[in-house]
Amino acid sequence: MKGSISRRDFLILTAKGAGAAVVSYGLMGCATDDDDDNQTNNSIRFNHGIASGDPLMDAIILWTRITPSSDGEITVSWEIAIDQAFTQLVNTGNTTTSAARDYTIKVDAIGLSASTTYYYRFICNGTTSSIGTTKTLPDGSPDSVKLAVLSCANYPAGFFNVYNLAAQQDDLDAVLHLGDYIYEYGRGEYGSDNAETLDRQVLPATEIFSLSDYRTRYAQYHSDPDLQLLHSKVPFITVWDDHEVADDTWSDGAGNHNEGEGSFEDRKLAALQAYFEWLPIRPWSEGNYAEIYRQFSFGDLVDLYMLDTRVLAREKQLDYADYFDGSVLFDEATFNQDLYETERTMLGTEQLQWLKDSVSVNNGRWQLLGQQVLMGEMKLPGAVALNAMSTTDYAELGPLSLLAGRIKAGDPTITADEQTYYEANADKLTADSLSLLSFPELPYNLDAWDGYATERDKILALFNDASKNLVVVAGDTHNAWANELSNSDDKIVGVEFATASISSPGLEYYLSISDDAIESTEDVFVSLIEGLKYSNAKDRGFLTLTFTQEKVESQWHYVDTILSSEYAELTDRLKVATSHADEPGLTFS
For residues 386 and 448, which CB has a smaller minimum distance to Fe ion in the complex?
448
**Shortest CB 447 distance to Fe ion, Å:** 11
**Shortest CB 243 distance to Fe ion, Å:** 6
- Using CB under 5 A as the binding rule, whether residue 474 contacts Fe ion is answered as no
Determine the interface stretch with Fe ion among 150-158, 246-254, 295-303, 519-527 (rule: CB under 5 A): 150-158
**Shortest CB 183 distance to Fe ion, Å:** 7
**Shortest CB 77 distance to Fe ion, Å:** 37
CB 307 within 8 A of CB 347: yes
For residues 371 and 504, which CB has a smaller minimum distance to Fe ion in the complex?
504
CB 367 within 8 A of CB 467: no
| Exposure letters 240-261 (e unless 16+ CB within 10 A, then b) | bbbbbbbbbbbbebbebbeeee
- Strand 174-177 versus strand 145-150 pairing type: parallel
Site for Fe ion in 493-512 (CB under 5 A): 504
For residues 297 and 504, which CB has a smaller minimum distance to Fe ion in the complex?
504
List for the chain the helix, strand, coil content (%; round to 5): 30, 25, 45
- Using CB under 5 A as the binding rule, whether residue 152 contacts Fe ion is answered as yes
- Using CB under 5 A as the binding rule, whether residue 149 contacts Fe ion is answered as no
For residues 437 and 559, which CB has a smaller minimum distance to Fe ion in the complex?
559
For residues 147 and 152, which CB has a smaller minimum distance to Fe ion in the complex?
152
Question: What is the torsional sign of CA 6, 9, 11, 16?
Answer: negative
Determine the interface stretch with Fe ion among 4-12, 25-33, 178-186, 561-569 (rule: CB under 5 A): 178-186
Q: Residues with Cβ < 8 Å from 156, sequence gap 6 or more?
A: 183, 187, 191, 192, 194, 195, 198, 200, 201, 202
**Shortest CB 536 distance to Fe ion, Å:** 15
Number of residues that bind Fe ion (CB under 5 A): 3
**Shortest CB 154 distance to Fe ion, Å:** 7
Site for Fe ion in 423-462 (CB under 5 A): none
Torsion from C-alpha of 448, 452, 457, 460, nearest 10 degrees: -30
For residues 180 and 377, which CB has a smaller minimum distance to Fe ion in the complex?
180
Distance, CA of 127 to CA of 124 (rounded, Å) = 5
For residues 90 and 500, which CB has a smaller minimum distance to Fe ion in the complex?
500
**Shortest CB 265 distance to Fe ion, Å:** 23
For residues 152 and 279, which CB has a smaller minimum distance to Fe ion in the complex?
152
For residues 447 and 553, which CB has a smaller minimum distance to Fe ion in the complex?
447
Distance, CA of 510 to CA of 478 (rounded, Å) = 11
Residue 24, Cβ density class (10 Å: 0-12 exposed, 13-18 middle, ≥19 buried): buried
CB count in 10 Å sphere of residue 541: 26
- Using CB under 5 A as the binding rule, whether residue 79 contacts Fe ion is answered as no
Q: Residues with Cβ < 8 Å from 584, sequence gap 6 or more?
A: 469, 470, 484, 485, 492, 493, 494, 495
Distance, CA of 90 to CA of 83 (rounded, Å) = 10
Determine the interface stretch with Fe ion among 148-156, 323-331, 350-358, 418-426 (rule: CB under 5 A): 148-156
For residues 76 and 152, which CB has a smaller minimum distance to Fe ion in the complex?
152
Residue whose C-alpha is closest to residue 147's, from 479, 553, 480? 553
Binding mask 303-332 for Fe ion (x = CB under 5 A): ------------------------------
Q: How many Cα atoms sit within 13 Å of 554 on the Cβ side?
A: 29
The conformation of residue 417, written as its DSSP 8-state character, comes to H
- Using CB under 5 A as the binding rule, whether residue 180 contacts Fe ion is answered as yes
Bond before 204 cis per omega within 30 degrees: yes
Measure the N-to-C terminal CA separation of the chain; round to a whole number of Å. 52
Determine the interface stretch with Fe ion among 176-184, 332-340, 364-372, 529-537 (rule: CB under 5 A): 176-184
**Shortest CB 38 distance to Fe ion, Å:** 42
**Shortest CB 504 distance to Fe ion, Å:** 5
Binding footprint of Fe ion on the chain (CB under 5 A): 152, 180, 504
